[in-house]
A = this chain, B = another copy of it.
Amino acid sequence: MVTIIDVARKAGVSPKTVSNVVNNRPVVRPATRERVQEVIRELEYRPSAAARSLVTRTRRLIGFLLADIKNPAYPEMVEAIASQTHQNGFMLLLCNTGRDPVEEDHYVNLLIEQQVDGVIISSSGAEGRAAGILSRRGIQVVLFNRHPKVFNENYVGVDNEGGGYSAAGYLLALGHTRIAFFRGEPGSSTSEEREAGFRRALLENGVPMDDSQFIFGDFRVGKSREAATALLTRRDRPTAIFAANDVMAIAVMDVALRLGLRVPEDLAVVGFDDIPIASSSPIGLTTVRSDLRTMAEEATRLLLELVRDPHHPGHLNPIRKILPVALQIRRTSGGRVGDPVRSPPPPASTA
């Protein structure tokens, strides 16, 4: 392995000078810098991150602790986080907990051992242990997208309550009164806030609710399909479903179609997130759009600021940044209930 000493020797300077060159410190005479860089190129010298961080106590490493990368909402966010951390010279450690608290703890330990500079947390733990453990170790933390029941860390998310409210409001305006709500995992703040908005809309409109219309879908396909099947084969099945995320909404559509129900004529479906596939015409999902990319960028920017600036206000007073959402009306929400059935969707429209 080529070390800084080898470079120094060959360039006829001290190791410190090489270090100064590598770190772009402007104290080196141009001629010297040039010579050193030449030797670096020749020897293909690459500084050891381990050695460097042992002394600087900064690893240039960011962790991303997330619940489930298979949720199609994530890749967009991962890309944004990756690209921004990379631009700033940091590398990204991906920690996919699979919603397993044991895995999460293991990841937290590894992140501490790696002495990462900061962690973006978007995992499930309703108790929020990870954030606490990490920040007590002096590791910067930003809660992202979801948050524990009570928390005192910086947080970037979207207006879930408002989104739930406008989705439900829209379905009510279309004349629906039997609307089911598809929950995510228990304890998930996103699901609970979306449900809160949903409930507020129904309450304000004097539409009665009962427990049977609140279903657990678990944010994933498998469980959602079971739950949807049970719901849609009931005699008093709802005329509309608002799912706490798009994955579940699409699972509901899937089940409905297989049961011979037409979407939206027999069942209106609304989701949340606006994942990429939602806008494709075979799906055409009406959904609450959250700007996943912007949210990810905001969170990353905030984290990097916290890492770099020890006097950042976020160190004293946790910042809570809530981004707006917007209802995207597409095909699956249909028209007014009781309207004459409109011309079917594209596949048959040319028949």
Contact = CB atoms under 8 A, between A and B. Distances in A.
B109 A94 contact: no
B78 A69 contact: yes
Contact of A49 (B69, B82, B114, B258): B114
A96 B69 CA distance: 14
Q: What is the interface residue range for chain A against chain B?
A: 35 or more
A250 B262 contact: no
Contacts of A318: none
A165 to B, nearest CB: 27
A282 interface: yes
Interface in A77-133: 78-79, 82-83, 86, 89, 91-96, 98, 103, 106-107, 109-110, 112-115
29 contacts: A48-B54, A48-B113, A49-B50, A49-B113, A50-B50, A50-B115, A51-B54, A69-B75, A69-B79, A69-B82, A70-B75, A70-B276, A72-B276, A74-B75, A79-B96, A79-B98, A86-B95, A86-B107, A221-B276, A250-B280, A257-B282, A257-B346, A260-B349, A260-B350, A262-B347, A277-B277, A344-B351, A345-B347, A348-B348
Given A75-B75, A92-B93, 16 more contacts: A48-B54, A48-B113, A50-B53, A50-B54, A50-B115, A69-B78, A70-B76, A82-B96, A86-B95, A86-B110, A250-B282, A251-B280, A257-B347, A260-B346, A262-B350, A347-B347
